[in-house]
Amino acid sequence: MRSLFLLLPLGLSACACGSMGETPPHVLILCVDTLRADRLGCYGGTGNLTPNLDALAAQATRWERCSASSPWTVPSHASMFTGKHPSSHGAYSFEVEDMSVDNCFVLEEEQWTLAEALRGKGYATAGIVANAVYLKGEFGLSQGFDHWSISRERAPRLCSNVLGWIDGRAQQRDSDRPWTMFVNFMDTHRPYNVEPLPGEREYDQATEYSSDLLNRLYQQVIVRGEEAGDLGLTLQDQYNRAVRNLDLALGEFFEELKQRGLWDDLLLVVVSDHGEYFGEHGLVEHSKDVYEPALSVPLLIKYPGQTVGEVRSERAGSAHLPALILDGLTSEVSDQLGPDFPQRPGGSFVVSENHYSRLPDILHPTVGERFRRVRTVVYDGPFKLIQSSDGNHELYNLGEDPGEMVIRNDLDFFQMHSMLDALSEELKGTESARERETVSVDGERLNDLRAMGYAGGPEGD
């Protein structure tokens, strides 16, 4: 049923590409972990939280609608790196009965990543990431990077580390070699970066620590089925401050890039791997389900030489990122690597998947059964279909119902079944029953998981 979807490839307009030439540009990908699109002013956010990202959007290409491939880190990053749906690249969660193993398959070496492809074309490749649990090399997401370092820092220090690497490259004998760098920020992931500005109220870490409050909200919303109420609003205030702090750091970082003469010809991407729940649909944080608060993410790309902003209306997805980056490289590189990363907005389905959930969810003694299912999303214009392994499919019209409050299964019966057929055809042959590599949970890893809310915590509060 591919006729349901817009499949005409859409090339970049002249104003989007600016004055790209045949000199290979540097590529900088900034992934803000857990950043909801609706917090950015350019996506309708209020409170002027992101003036620097909004200024970037004014001279970049912004996709009005971008959907994460999964509502949590590993599958979504793997999609951004490989240009594939989670069912195709295989790095997604699986069902377990205890905490002896982290329930996520690694991205296997046989998967071809954009970093590997660009390295083969002469690019120096580097990653500096703040996610010290799921972006460790053991999950396979560092393949193709010459340099990959974990830096548990907030955005200001992380940006300083990135500039240090860039300055170091400029001193190398092969300093004329183009580079691509991936940066992962964790300011908007628990624990939120609530560092106050001068004169601003400081949160009491003994009583207002975001991780503790999120554990309480989990009990209140998910376990007891209550509304988020004032606790949810407090956490949203903290989250908004984290977004503001991240934007301030990026503004200073962008100025440093300009002072180094790198800005104009740089291919710069700002994206997120997933969003965050604050009680919507009876959910807290992320990784638990596939509603829009966890899937709707920003996507901004400033192509080399671009100075005029452009807004694209076709829906994009995490798996489209490699093709969109290749659009801004030299014609030689783009032509040679393009066939390896064919998925692009308007030319392929936008699919999001959540296979079960994280350990504290599926192992929870009272609510765990809720999360023992596979949920797959496909979009068709304003319609969003959630296919559920338990048979509880959900069809929404996001144009009329952006909050996903009215299930339209009966109202649009034929639309739902046409989309189910199309989704089945798209994912045919992607699942594999063979054994894949996993990561064991030892004492150190358990502590890391707990710090990020992926083990313990919610059950004990």
For residues 308 and 70, what is the distance between their CA atoms, to the nearest angstrom?
A: 31
Distances (CA, A) of 328 to 220, 287, 439: 47, 32, 36
Q: What are phi and psi of 37, to 5 degrees?
A: -65, -35
Q: Look at residues 265, 266, 271, 249 and name the one whose alpha carbon lies nearest to residue 160.
A: 249
For residues 404 and 450, what is the distance between their CA atoms, to the nearest angstrom?
A: 31
DSSP-based three-state secondary structure for 29 = strand
**Residues constituting the chain:** 461
The dihedral of CA 30, 36, 41, 43: what is its sign?
A: positive
pLDDT at residue 438, as a whole number: 65
Owner of token pair 């193993």:
101
pLDDT at residue 442, as a whole number: 64
pLDDT at residue 450, as a whole number: 65
List, for the chain, all residue ranges whose pLDDT scores fall below the cut of 70.
1-21, 429-461
Element (H, E) at 335: helix 331-337
DSSP-based three-state secondary structure for 400 = coil
Cis peptide before 191 (omega within 30 of 0): yes
pLDDT at residue 12, as a whole number: 47
CA angle 41, 43, 47 (to 5 degrees): 30
Domains belonging to the chain, first-starting first, are: 24-348 (3.40.720.10)
Q: What are phi and psi of 397, to 5 degrees?
A: -105, 100
Q: Look at residues 60, 28, 1 and name the one whose alpha carbon lies nearest to residue 426.
A: 1
Q: Look at residues 339, 359, 358 and name the one whose alpha carbon lies nearest to residue 347.
A: 339
Cβ-Cβ contacts under 8 Å for 381 (sequence gap 6 or more):
6, 399
Q: Is 182 left (phi over 0), alpha (psi -120 to 50) or beta?
A: beta
pLDDT at residue 327, as a whole number: 97
